[in-house]
Amino acid sequence: MYFAKKAVEEEVDQMMDTTVYACQSESCNGWMREDFVTVDYNCPMCGTEMSQEVRELPKIKYDHQFYNK
Ligand SMILES: [Zn+2]
């Protein structure tokens, strides 16, 4: 008798290339995912203009709280 059934799904964070906007100020590490970027593309921490770049980040699991505004 074999009990080889494995129904457990591993919840591993998937890494994926993500478009982000990074603060151009050298004294600031602020950056945002494209999905959450501010309307004027300025850094939420210091107000400096941000530039688009691609970073490898864990995939976001979307849930309802993002729409609870
Ligand atoms: Zn900044």
Cα 25 to Cα 10: distance, rounded to the nearest angstrom: 39
pLDDT along the chain (69 residues), means of 10: 62 86 95 90 94 91 57
pLDDT reported for residue 57: 92
What is the predicted pLDDT for the residue at 4? Answer: 66
Instruction: Report every protein residue that has its C-beta within 5 angstroms of ion ligand 1.
Output: 23, 25, 28, 30, 43, 45-46, 48
Domain ranges of the chain: 15-59
Give the pLDDT of residue 38: 84
End-to-end CA distance of the chain: 54
pLDDT reported for residue 8: 59
Cβ pair 25, 48 in contact under 8 A: yes
Ligand 1 centroid–CA 11 distance in Å is 33
- pTM for the model: 0.65
* Beta-carbon-side half-sphere exposure of residue 1 (alpha carbons within 13 Å): 0
Rounded to the nearest angstrom, the distance between the alpha carbon of 3 and the centre of ligand 1 is 55
Question: Which residue, 34, 32, 66, is CA-closest to 48?
Answer: 32
**pLDDT value, residue 14:** 86
